[in-house]
Amino acid sequence: MGKTDITQSLGSPYVLRLREMLGGAESELKMLKIEEQRLRADIAAYQARLENTPKREQEFQEVSRDYETTKQLYESLSKRLEAAQLAESMEQRQKGEQFRILDSAVPSGLPAAPNRLKLLAVSLVLSLGLAGGALMLAEMLDTSFHSIDELRQFSDRASAGERAQDRDRRRPPAPDSGRFQPGRRGRSAGTDR
């Protein structure tokens, strides 16, 4: 094949068509590259917005907190203003209603309570009664002898009790089986009375 074949083949409708298609593909490729660059720029912008979202949220929270504080301050000031206006209107109405003291207070000559004389008398009677009761109780609980007659009476009772014990000792012991019998008194081994 020579040069003429190549030039003839370049002029053929098939080659022209391929060149047109190639030119169309190249222009479409350029447009797609431009579209790709635009999409990449959009993606970068969206990523930057996503990265800034926490910052924006924090800024929003600060602004909303400031708004709430300001709102509460406004509400408290408006309530104070209403109260002041109400007090002022009450004062305006009461200007004609002035109070004055007709009679001043007079203190009493006698104290209202306690009656000291009565209190002293009651405490004296109660203390005497308690002292007498304590004396009687001490006398009842005292076991000492105060006279010779009390000693004799006590010794007679004590001697009668000893006689009864002697009588029990003189009795011969009843024959028993060597077992302990409740209710019976007897000598136990090792004790001599």
3-state per-residue secondary structure call for the chain = CCHHHHHHHHCCHHHHHHHHHHHHHHHHHHHHHHHHHHHHHHHHHHHHHHHHHHHHHHHHHHHHHHHHHHHHHHHHHHHHHHHHHHHHHHHHHHCCCCCCCCCCCCCCCCCCCCCHHHHHHHHHHHHHHHHHHHHHHHHHHCCCCCCHHHHHHHHHHHHHHHHHHHHHHHCCCCCCCCCCCCCCCCCCCCCCC
* Residue-by-residue pLDDT tens, the chain, 193 positions: 455 555 555 668 888 888 899 999 999 999 999 999 999 999 999 888 888 778 778 888 888 888 899 999 999 999 999 999 888 888 777 766 666 778 888 888 877 788 888 999 999 999 999 999 999 999 888 888 878 888 888 787 766 666 666 666 666 555 555 555 555 554 444 444 4
pTM of the model: 0.27
